[in-house]
Structure formats: structure tokens, C-alpha cells
């Protein structure tokens, strides 16, 4: 991992940490957000750490497992990191579904936090 640019190292570490927390105990995700953070979840918008954690904690499943297919990370001109994740998830006994998720990470008081996040299931109505 040491031969990758620093933004890829930080982005990859964040993604791994995020999905470990999400799959184990979504209520612990508050540590990665700040009060100014924004989440768009399947078109619904939430702002602030409390609103985001409430949304994620109230999702209607008991257990979930994410499998990451690909992830891409870019530095932004204002020293943030843009991360895009593509993967699959399995919630409870439901079928496996594809998803895309994008994070904007910012170094805030010495820690990398998520300021913006967008999530969509890969569902197609054809």
C-alpha cells in the first residue's frame, strides 16, 4: 500500500473502516461525520451527524454484509479526497444487490471525516 499515492491510502483505509463499522454496528458511524455533513440516501437528503446516524441506524434490516468490487479515489484542489465505491450488499435473507456510494473526505481537526456522501442501489427499471 505504501507505493500508492497518499489520497488512495487514506481513501482505501476510510472505505474499509466505514464498511466494517456499517456491517458490525451502524450506530457507531457517528465518529466519521461532523455536524455539517450531508447524506443523500436513495434520493432522501439528511444533514448533520445526528440525522445521518439516525437514518443509517433505522434502515430496515438486522444484518448486512458489503462486498467491495471497486473503489476509486481522487485528491481535490481543496485538499479533500473524493472516493467512489462500487459493490454488492446482502441484507438479512434478501437477494444480493449492487450499489454505488460516493464519499467526500476532509481532514477535520486531525482526523479524516465524511462531509458528503451519496448512496444508491444499482436497481434498473427496464
Identify whether 11 is part of a domain. yes
3-state DSSP call for residue 26? helix
Give 97-110 pLDDT, tens digit per residue: 999 999 999 999 99
- Look at the chain and report how many structural domains it folds into: 1
pTM of the full structure: 0.93
Identify whether 1 is part of a domain. no
What percentage of the chain exceeds 70 in pLDDT? 96
pLDDT at 123: 81
Task: Residue 102: give its domain's CATH number.
Answer: 3.10.450.50
pLDDT at 3: 87
Please report the sign of the dihedral spanned by the C-alpha atoms of residue 30, residue 92, residue 14, residue 87.
negative
Identify whether 40 is part of a domain. yes
Identify whether 100 is part of a domain. yes
CA angle 95, 123, 42 (to 5 degrees): 105
Give 39-64 pLDDT, tens digit per residue: 999 999 999 999 999 999 999 999 99
> Residue 73 is placed in which grid cell?
479515489
Identify whether 105 is part of a domain. yes
Measure the N-to-C terminal CA separation of the chain; round to a whole number of Å.
40
Report the C-alpha gap between 68 and 30 in whole angstroms. Answer: 22
pLDDT at 125: 63
Look up the domain containing 90 and give its range: 6-121
Identify whether 126 is part of a domain. no
Q: Which spans in 5-123 are helix H?
A: 6-24, 49-57
Amino acid at each position: 500500500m505504501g507505493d500508492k499515492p497518499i489520497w488512495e491510502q487514506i481513501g482505501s483505509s476510510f472505505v474499509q473502516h466505514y464498511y466494517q463499522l456499517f456491517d458490525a454496528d451502524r450506530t457507531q458511524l457517528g465518529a466519521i461525520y461532523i455536524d455539517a455533513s450531508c447524506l443523500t440516501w436513495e434520493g432522501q437528503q439528511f444533514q448533520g451527524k445526528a440525522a445521518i446516524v439516525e437514518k443509517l441506524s433505522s434502515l430496515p434490516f438486522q444484518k448486512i454484509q458489503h462486498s467491495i468490487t471497486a473503489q476509486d479515489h481522487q485528491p481535490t484542489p481543496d485538499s479533500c479526497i473524493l472516493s467512489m465505491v462500487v459493490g454488492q450488499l446482502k441484507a438479512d435473507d434478501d437477494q444480493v444487490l449492487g450499489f454505488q456510494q460516493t464519499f467526500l473526505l476532509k481532514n477535520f481537526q486531525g482526523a479524516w471525516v465524511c462531509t458528503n456522501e451519496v448512496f444508491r442501489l444499482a436497481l434498473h427499471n427496464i
